[in-house]
Chains A and B, each alone.
Chain A
Amino acid sequence: MSVQADPGYSLSSERLRRRKVVNRIMEALATLAALLAVAVLVIVVASVVKKGIGAINVDFFTQTTSTFSFGPSQSGIANAIVGSLVIVFFAILMALPVGILAAIYLNEFASPRMRAPLQLALDVLNGIPAIVVGIFVYVLLVLGSGQSALKASFALAILMLPLVARSTQEVLALVPDALREGSLALGAPRWRTTLSIVLPQAVGGIITGATLATARVAGETAPLLFTSSLVGNEVNWNPSHPLMSMPYFIFAASEQADPGLQEQAWATALVLIAFVLVASTIARYFGLRSRRRRSGKR
């Protein structure tokens, strides 16, 4: 059976060909841009791996830093790893409660009139360059009394706070109001509803946000220059001392003439990247899990 088009009817046109070409060009450009973004990551990681992998061995994680290591070095970054752990740990300890409580206030208690300016303040705080925060903490805390890891933590906490608060607020906003109403209708006070119904729903997202914020500030260098840079080469867990950290070691070692130290700087960068990668993966996992729980599937 052959079907004839009714006279005067046509679903193709002269311009169809041109539209197809334009479509293909646009698609190609967008794809190219997406690939470029991935390529940048690949190039950065590849060059860091290439230049740093040679310095990675057991000693690198167990020995402490040495500022003058010529020849085959017996030095590592154990003290920088410990220092970074201590500084970031206390930064989390300071920023997480404040950030989460601020988000709870913003999303659960604040009137719309209060909410807008507070959100703006957090966004502005988020935009403040790390070095400005470093100088601020330097003038406020370091000048006159000296450096310490806790002061570095405080500077990093300032940088973390808006990240934690805003990401927490976003996941709180995703919790359906119907659940809050269900709880309030049973005679639950506001705080009880938040604690027992809203937060358990949001906890995965909060962990995701906190992990990403941690990954972000763990690599910050500028605030550490002001607050925890006059450091020794021994492993030290005491947060009241200035402690060596991975970002600061990268900064200091990369300026040295010694190629061995430069290689160690690259290797440290590799460790930092690996940390960020692991943290982001964990964050994604929690994010995914809580989203699945929210939608009710198990």
Chain B
Amino acid sequence: MDYPSTEMTEDTEEQSGGDGLAKAIDPTRLGPGAPSSTPASAPTVFRIDALTAYYGKSPAVRDVTFDVPGNQVTAIIGPSGCGKSTFIRCLNRMNDVVPSFHTDGAIYFHGIDIQGKDVDPVNVRRQIGMVFQRPNPFPKSIHDNITYGLKMLGMKDDLEGRVERALKRAALWEEVKDRLKDSALALSGGQQQRLCIARAIAIEPEVILLDEPASALDPISTASIEDLMHELKSDYTIVIVTHNMQQAARVADMTAFFSLSEVVDGSRSGVLVEYDRTDKIFTTPGDKRTEDYVTGRFG
């Protein structure tokens, strides 16, 4: 895997040196006021600062702090129930629709706290698109699935060109160009998922969040989605949740490993164990729990 600069490499090495967790996610270093040491070629897009997300009273993820670099693929891995999905859904405020959901801490998107009172979640989602675990095309034609977001956001100039570009970008154009008026529900699962990616990139967001995008797909469709991610990261910042470690190893530049904490106040919650370059996470992890997980000893 190649990285945009050596500075980045040095930075992350320093970060994970020593005995793991404490140093790896030292909050003072990553706090909002801290000077950014990320190189210009990979500016920080998200700065997550001590984020704790609750459903009702019990925290689903606790005290997560790390930075997501731009134009890279950042993978979030970890065992079931460790709050990966909860976390990624915080990044574009999809959890707003869940009653009793609330958070502590902050998520800065280019320095703006997206959970701020004067921030409209509609604008957040406009910038930060999302693709879900199960393909969820609208029960409309392939064409209308793409134009739905465009029309809504007033991007009506060159509608057909935008549809074509989005479908090409999602590597779906060749398969569907002759049947754009057909129902999207007639596509295969893998095609539907690529349509959902096309739908998300059509409105030109900066970030695409993918919540286990390939878990409902067969291996061939999965491979095409993974290829797509390599393609897309030149234009988009990608954050992907996956329970498939090989997938993280294949697609991600940076990897965050989440796990379940020990029991606190009668409940366990997800915590960020380690965050580092993907090759480090999988070859020389700084934390014993990461090592156990990536070598298959648990999870």
Contact = CB atoms under 8 A, between A and B. Distances in A.
A71 interface: no
Given A111-B99, A178-B136, A179-B136, A186 B149 contact: yes
B129 A186 contact: yes
Contact of A188 (B131, B149, B200): B149
Contacts of A182: 132, 136-138, 196, 199
A189 B123 CA distance: 10
Interface string A154-190: 0000000000000000000000101111111111110
A297 to B, nearest CB: 8
B220 interface: no
B106 to A, nearest CB: 21
A183 B122 contact: no
Contacts of B149: 186-188
A176 B129 contact: no
Contacts of A122: none
Contacts of A293: 139
Which of B122, B123, B132, B139 has the most CB atoms of chain A within a 10 A radius of its CB? B139
A196 B136 CA distance: 15
Contact of A184 (B125, B186, B203): B125
Interface in B83-118: 92, 94, 97, 99
Given A181-B94, A196-B148, A298-B183, A187 B136 contact: no
B268 interface: no
B139 A183 contact: no
B92 A112 contact: no
A192 B134 CA distance: 22
B45 interface: no
Which of A111, A187, A196 has the most CB atoms of chain B within a 10 A radius of its CB? A187
A296 interface: yes
Given A293-B139, A296-B183, A296-B185, A188 B122 contact: yes
Contact of B139 (A181, A186, A201): A201
Nearest to B125: A187
A241 interface: no
Interface residues of B, number: 28
Interface in B130-181: 130-132, 134, 136-139, 148-149, 152-153
Interface string A186-202: 11110010001100110
Given A176-B136, A197-B138, A298-B183, A183 B148 contact: yes
Contacts of A184: 94, 97, 125
Nearest to A197: B138
A216 interface: no
B29 interface: no
A294 interface: yes
A186 B203 contact: yes
Contacts of B153: 187
Nearest to B121: A184
B195 to A, nearest CB: 11
A185 B139 contact: no
Contacts of A179: 136, 138-139
A298 B186 CA distance: 9
A180 B138 CA distance: 9
Contact of A185 (B99, B125, B134, B183): B125
A186 B152 contact: yes
A112 B186 CA distance: 35
Which of A111, A186, A192 has the most CB atoms of chain B within a 10 A radius of its CB? A186
Contacts of A189: 122
Given A296-B183, A298-B183, A185 B203 contact: no
Contacts of A188: 122, 148-149, 152
A180 B125 CA distance: 13
A185 B92 contact: yes
Interface string B7-21: 000000000000000
A187 B152 contact: yes
A192 B99 contact: no
Nearest to B209: A185
Nearest to B196: A182
A117 to B, nearest CB: 16
Interface of B: 92, 94, 97, 99, 122-123, 125-126, 129-132, 134, 136-139, 148-149, 152-153, 183, 185-186, 196, 199-200, 203
16 contacts: A178-B132, A178-B134, A181-B94, A181-B97, A181-B130, A181-B136, A182-B136, A182-B138, A182-B196, A183-B138, A186-B200, A187-B153, A196-B148, A296-B183, A296-B185, A298-B183
Q: Across chains A and B, which 5 residue pairs bring their CB atoms closest together, nearest first?
A: A187-B126, A296-B185, A178-B136, A186-B149, A185-B130
Given A179-B139, A293-B139, A296-B183, 6 more contacts: A182-B132, A184-B125, A187-B152, A188-B149, A296-B186, A298-B183
